[in-house]
Amino acid sequence: MEEWVGYKWHEYITRQALGEFPEHAVYLKDEARSLGIVFRAFGGDPALSLVTAEPRHFRLRRRFLHKIAGTHRKFELAWRDEQNLRLPEKVAKFPSKRLNRELYIWLAALAANPAPADSDWFTGNQALVQDVIARWPGLERVYQRLVKQVLRRRPDPEGLSAEEAVREQAIRQALIHPGSVAALPAAGTDPWPVILWLYPALEQGKANGPVTGDEDTQSSPGGLTKKNKRHQAERVEAFDRDQGLMIFRLESLFSWTEFIPVDRAGDDTKEEDAEAVADDMDMISVSNDRKETSSSIKFDLDLPSEEHDDLRLGPGIHLPEWDWRSQSYREAFCCVQPMLAKNAEPAELPEALRRPAKRLQRQFSALKPLKQWHKRQLDGDELDLDACLEREVQNRRGQGAIDQKLFRRCQQSQRDLACLVLADVSLSTETYINNQQRVIDIARDGLQLLSEALQASRDPFALFAFSSRRRDYVRFHHLKGFDETYTSTIRGRIQALEPGFYTRMGAAIRQATKLLGARHEQQKVLLLLTDGKPNDLDLYEGRYGIEDTRMAVQEAIKAGLTPFCVTIDDEASEYLPYVFGSHNYVVIRDPAQLPLQLPKLYLNLTQ
């Protein structure tokens, strides 16, 4: 009972202190898709990802109620950097869902415009507001409505000190008439946050030493990416567990700011709410203390030994990589290593795939080359009996003009196209779908069914798979070349595929472009199967990997190829339109349907 009363009291005090309207809250996860469209429609950089903003600290003169509730120390505010546009996770500042949604739209429009050069936060935001309203006059009414609501909820200058009152008046004047205030007056505390403006990008705090680890990325139910959520950090030597009887500080009873030993290198933590605790912590401490997990065996993604690895075909192929930061290529930066399965045994088609394979073979056999006889030709393979008989009749009747086209010619009517299928076999394909089937198993079935169909249509095709471990080792698995017949040997190579390492997609696409570009067919299709974003260990994350992949796709298009991506990634709509174009990709919502959907996609793409 006491715990319930305490919880209700905390809930009431916090709600009163925040001054928000939770019943009218609008969440970024629900608005992410439409906001992404709005951001790009206003001219925003299509390479930026829409993510949630982490709270930043402010030194404010808080009211008594704020101090009791422990609120108004951190605020989620909008800002952008070279890779992301960051917006608050929810907006509940106004007593209307329409107004809260309009705040999201206004911030997206503001972030879509380039910030004025050589200007500080205060004058820069005023100039940015003026520019947005000048370019999009329809937003002026939205801005005025938001300003009216914001001014009601800002501190009253009469209740502030003299310096703070002057500064608050300057901010109010700048909101009402952007560009009318040249500088922000100084005061002893931070100014109350302006939710209608963009804030400078947060710089990642520096610890006492390097802290390694993967960049956390996870999906929320609405498809919004919550990543790069940074905290203040410190490095400590070790956590002393022998603290005697006093195992916590009494003054920290209402705070999560305690040392919680979260083992970053292991997956055996028992803290179910560790993520929620970490989000609430002001300081995260990192140490090299391995006492708790010293008995656990840890594995790294290391390369297999030569005797257990696949065969290497040649010394490797050096390819360039695009660096979007310098807007230039890094020549011979990546090494693509062709591989051939060493222990792959010839295999037959699995029993579960035989019935759909026969159905696809009947459907695709209608596409195979057919013999067509062209009659009444000047020359050809044999005489056209009908034309010869008609000429004899004309000759006996004594008609003047006699047709000389007395032959017929046989020609093959065939589709002039070639297809190269490139499959992503990175470590993420080890994931199980509905605890039944791995992604790699689904990909294998899809490759086999598509191969059975293409063999029936007699379209030239090749199969390759790839994974990577840094730039100097991009594994390019040879499954079937254009000059090879689809046999049990090829099926064995497909069935021998196993999850590999990471996804350096740009290098793999460039190598596939070279192979497919050497074909003489008029239509050349590069079909990519993947389950996630491009990534690797050596900075091939985020925008760097996306920009390199996009440049590789552009190179393929310039070479006369038709790149098309098939993915099962739920977040693909956030980045694939930028990488492949809005009509050159498809997301398979139910991964189990990939094997059956893949041949249909090929038909739609090539007919």
Check pLDDT > 50 for residue 242.
no
pLDDT value of residue 60: 73
Question: Same domain for 386 and 438?
Answer: no
Flag whether 160 is in a domain. Answer: yes
Question: Same domain for 600 and 568?
Answer: yes
Check pLDDT > 80 for residue 325.
yes
Question: Same domain for 57 and 11?
Answer: yes
CA atoms within 13 A on the CB side of 402: 14
The 8-class DSSP code of residue 590 comes to S
pLDDT value of residue 494: 95
pLDDT digits (tens, 9 = 90+) for 330-349: 999 999 999 999 888 999 99
Q: Looking at 176, 209, 232, which one is the last position of a domain? A: 176
pLDDT value of residue 21: 82
pLDDT value of residue 305: 59
Question: Same domain for 505 and 379?
Answer: no
Question: Same domain for 464 and 378?
Answer: no
Flag whether 408 is in a domain. Answer: yes
Question: What CATH number corresponds to the domain at position 568?
Answer: 3.40.50.410
- pTM of the shown model: 0.68
Flag whether 302 is in a domain. Answer: no
Going by C-beta distance under 8 Å and a sequence separation of 6 or more, which residues neighbour residue 569? 530, 531, 532, 533, 587
pLDDT value of residue 249: 44
Question: Same domain for 527 and 404?
Answer: no
Among candidate residues 326, 325, 330, 327, the one with its CA nearest the CA of residue 82: 325
Flag whether 288 is in a domain. Answer: no
Question: Same domain for 156 and 48?
Answer: yes
pLDDT digits (tens, 9 = 90+) for 466-505: 999 999 999 999 999 999 999 999 999 999 999 999 999 9
User: What is the rounded CA–CA span in Å between residue 279 and residue 258?
Assistant: 13
Check pLDDT > 50 for residue 290.
no
CA 317 to chain centre: 27
Mean pLDDT for 396-422 is 78
The 8-class DSSP code of residue 101 comes to H
Question: Same domain for 398 and 319?
Answer: no
Check pLDDT > 70 for residue 188.
yes
Flag whether 170 is in a domain. Answer: yes
Q: Looking at 122, 141, 176, which one is the last position of a domain? A: 176
Which of 153-157, 504-508, 509-513 is predicted least confidently? Answer: 153-157
pLDDT value of residue 273: 53
User: What is the rounded CA–CA span in Å between residue 230 and residue 361?
Assistant: 53
Check pLDDT > 80 for residue 8.
no
pLDDT value of residue 212: 31
User: What is the rounded CA–CA span in Å between residue 43 and residue 559?
Assistant: 29
Flag whether 267 is in a domain. Answer: no
Among candidate residues 44, 150, 54, the one with its CA nearest the CA of residue 105: 44
411 beta partners: 372
pLDDT digits (tens, 9 = 90+) for 37-88: 889 889 888 888 888 888 888 777 666 666 676 666 788 889 888 888 899 9
**Residue 110 — pLDDT band, cuts 50, 70, 90?**
very high
Flag whether 285 is in a domain. Answer: no
Query: CB neighbours (10 Å) of residue 384?
Result: 20
Question: Same domain for 331 and 420?
Answer: yes
pLDDT value of residue 530: 93
Question: Same domain for 394 and 529?
Answer: no
Mean pLDDT for 373-381 is 78
Flag whether 42 is in a domain. Answer: yes
- Indicate the residue type of 490: I
Count of domains observed in the chain: 3
286 beta partners: 235
Mean pLDDT for 135-144 is 92
Cβ–Cβ under 8 Å, residues 336 and 319: yes
pLDDT value of residue 370: 54
Which of 209-223, 232-246, 259-273, 402-416 is predicted least confidently? Answer: 209-223
502: helix, strand or coil: strand
Q: Looking at 157, 176, 195, which one is the last position of a domain? A: 176
Question: Same domain for 382 and 524?
Answer: no
pLDDT value of residue 340: 93
Question: Same domain for 376 and 483?
Answer: no
pLDDT digits (tens, 9 = 90+) for 439-448: 999 999 999 9
* Mean pLDDT value across the chain: 80
Residue span of the structural domain in which 394 resides? 371-413
